[in-house]
Amino acid sequence: MFRSGGYINIALVFSDNDAIFPNLCSYLSSIIAQGSRLMKVRYSLDTDGEHWVEEDIVDDEIDLNVFSNFYPSLTLSGDAFDVRSNDVHLTPVIVNHFHGILIDIRWDDIVPRSGSIDELNVQTDRIIRCLARSYFSTPYSYAVVGHELDVEIAPEDFELKTGRSGVFPLALRGDKSVLHVYRGSFHLDGLTPQTMRQEIIHS
């Protein structure tokens, strides 16, 4: 069954709150190396979100000081994910003692045609490859892919609560030089059943 419209969310979660800017910088370098381009940065000058600033990014150069403003986000191209789009959104998120990066990609850009099982499998494999390359340059505690996701599960709770349960269409858990990949009971569209399975990617 094909889901049209909406977004696919990718949440990468890190455990050390103090390292958000180095992790963000490293991750941006990773996806730029994989072909994505940084297009725009948007942020608010006030906590109420009444005064917004949007700036174009030239040559993928960005001053990380913009992330000291309120509600910053980036617009980038989807090349790193093998997605033809200039409307991928990236938002850094801080939650208590951990932080993360939330990526939003339009569903119709992920699977723009029939949404067949073959297409879903191909796109899932592409996302896994991108997240694996990023992990080995910017190790994260875990990553999840699905609909209506946010950075909200603490790294220490992830495997215990959800890691192997099949709740997410796709979940990845880092373990030093190894990345564990869990495919859930449904494909990325959240509707089409898939066989739950695990795989391991080595650096």
> Pairing state of beta strands 38-44 and 70-76?
antiparallel
What pLDDT is attached to residue 113? 65
What pLDDT is attached to residue 166? 75
Beginning with the edge strand found earlier in the chain, give each strand of the sheet holding 197-202 in spatial order: 52-56, 38-44, 70-76, 88-95, 98-106, 7-14, 142-146, 170-175, 178-183, 197-202
Give Cα 23 distance to the centre of its chain: 13
What pLDDT is attached to residue 96? 82
User: What is the chain's pLDDT, residue by residue, as a tens digit (203 residues)?
Assistant: 444 568 999 999 998 766 888 999 999 999 999 999 999 999 999 999 999 999 999 999 998 889 989 999 999 999 999 888 999 999 999 988 899 999 999 988 887 666 688 888 889 999 999 999 999 999 999 999 998 889 989 998 887 666 566 789 999 999 999 999 999 998 888 888 988 999 999 98
What pLDDT is attached to residue 160? 66
Residue located via tokens 């699905």:
146
Specify which residues 74 forms β-bridges with.
Answer: 41, 90
Predicted structure pTM score: 0.92
